[in-house]
Structure 1
Amino acid sequence: MTRPPTAAQRRVIEAADPVTGRLRGTETQLAALVKRGLAFRHPRPPHDHFLTPAGHRMREAVPEPPAPPAPDDAGVFAARVGGEEEPPASGPARRREVHSAWQGLLELRRMTNPDGAVDRPCGWERTHLVRAAALALEAAGHRPAGGDADGYRVRATPQPEAVAVYAPDPETLAACAATLEGAGWQTGEYTEPRTRARYLLASPRRV
């Protein structure tokens, strides 16, 4: 029987990137997690380590800790949904981080979709709809709303497996729809009865 992870290894699992499952730890810790089937080493440089589906299950089974102080939250990736009060700094570093997160998500699709397909969302995306749709948009280069600039906004909806995407103009809304459809989502354009604002209703495609 495989021994359970040590306390130090569990801390590495708990600290994994919530979107991509990317791990940070010593070579010994990471190698031990690979041996236990809880992590894998990406075959392409820089050969980062990521959680396997079993590792994700173990991470999600860990009870939520109390809200940590702000310094402990530093370095955790979060896709921009638009309209954040304190958005992350833009620039080359952010673009690299977003690209890495998107590549990690594609790898997660490959590993967790039954047929290994990367052209449609995986289970993690279906349980993190807003963050998944926002990552697809930000990774494609769309500008999120924030500060003095207007752009996309991704919001939860009462409908199961659906998010609403707003944009400042019809052209941007159509471009967001094309990006999401290319990332494996199905979209439809609607009008809010009260405000008459146009928006997309987007859901992960199943086949």
Structure 2
Amino acid sequence: MTRPPSAAQRRVIEEADPVTGRLRGTPAQLAALVRRGLAFRHPRPPHDHFLTPAGHRVREEVPGPPAGSAPDTGVFTARVGGEEEPAVSGPARRREVHSAWQGLLELRRMTHPHGAVDRPCGWERTHLVRAAALALEAAGHRPADADADGYRVRATPQPEAVAVYAPDARTLAACAATLEEAGWQTGEYTEPRTRARYLLASPRRV
């Protein structure tokens, strides 16, 4: 059985950038995470270290603050819609969302051949709901909450696909356009029982 990460290694994993997975630690700590398959060293300068999919899984096992935590926690959480509290808004939130989206584009650039940023990267494929929600919020769409209608992003049984709900056809079409521009492919469907329209969105591969 694989030995679990040490307390020091868990701290490094827990403090990784929530979007890009970029790590900060001593050379010995980072080298140990690479040996365990929890991190990799990027081949291009400045040769930063990032979590692998296995490292992200370990990070998700580390208890963290709930969704919607105050910005001063230092943890960014994409709004998937349907949270009970009103959606955080204002200049501070917009800066957080913009920074997270730019970080995600940088991760695409570093992990795709030729620095392509026009399609989702590996992190997005393992965090589908959060990735789609970030793309929508970064484009200015409002998530649904207790006080207002908006988009809702939900997991589906289908591999590499999320469902996106919106309060009306116009908003649904706008969400589809945003996701397609962000490198997702979308199709519009109707739920058989409720007749509600929704998008099925998947990260584009090419």
- TM bin (shorter chain): 0.7 to 0.9
- Give the counterpart letter for 2:20 in structure 1: T
Deviation at 1:111, TM superposition (A): 0.9
User: In angstroms, what is the RMSD of aligned CA positions?
Assistant: 3.2
Cα pair distance change 1:50/1:145, threshold 3 Å: farther
- Give the counterpart letter for 2:55 in structure 1: R
Moved more, 106-115 or 8-17: 8-17
In the other structure, the counterpart of 2:56 is 60
Q: Which 5+ residue runs of structure 2 have no aligned equivalent? A: 1-5, 35-39
Question: Kindly, what percent of the aligned residue pairs are identical?
Answer: 77
Q: Give me the TM-score of the superposition, normalised by structure 2.
A: 0.76
Report 1:135-146 matches (<5 A): 135-146=134-145
In the alignment, is the contact (CA less than 8 A) between 1:19 and 1:78 conserved in 2?
Answer: no
Q: What are the Cα deviations for residues 28-48 of structure 1, in whole angstroms up to 9, with x where unaligned?
A: x57x58x969678xx9xxxxx
Deviation at 1:114, TM superposition (A): 3.0
Q: Distance in 1 between matches of 2:158 and 2:145?
A: 26
- Give the counterpart letter for 2:126 in structure 1: T
In the other structure, the counterpart of 2:21 is 21
Q: Distance in 2 between matches of 1:177 and 1:199?
A: 10
Cα pair distance change 1:69/1:109, threshold 3 Å: closer
Cα pair distance change 1:50/1:157, threshold 3 Å: farther
When the two structures are aligned, how many residues end up with a matched partner? 187
In the other structure, the counterpart of 2:162 is 163
Q: Distance in 1 between matches of 2:202 and 2:163?
A: 9
Deviation at 1:90, TM superposition (A): 1.5
In the other structure, the counterpart of 1:187 is 186
1:200 corresponds to 2:196 = no
- Give the counterpart letter for 1:163 in structure 2: V
Q: What are the Cα deviations for residues 70-126 of structure 1, in whole angstroms up to 9, with x where unaligned?
A: 7xx733111000011235531111110000000000010011123421000001111
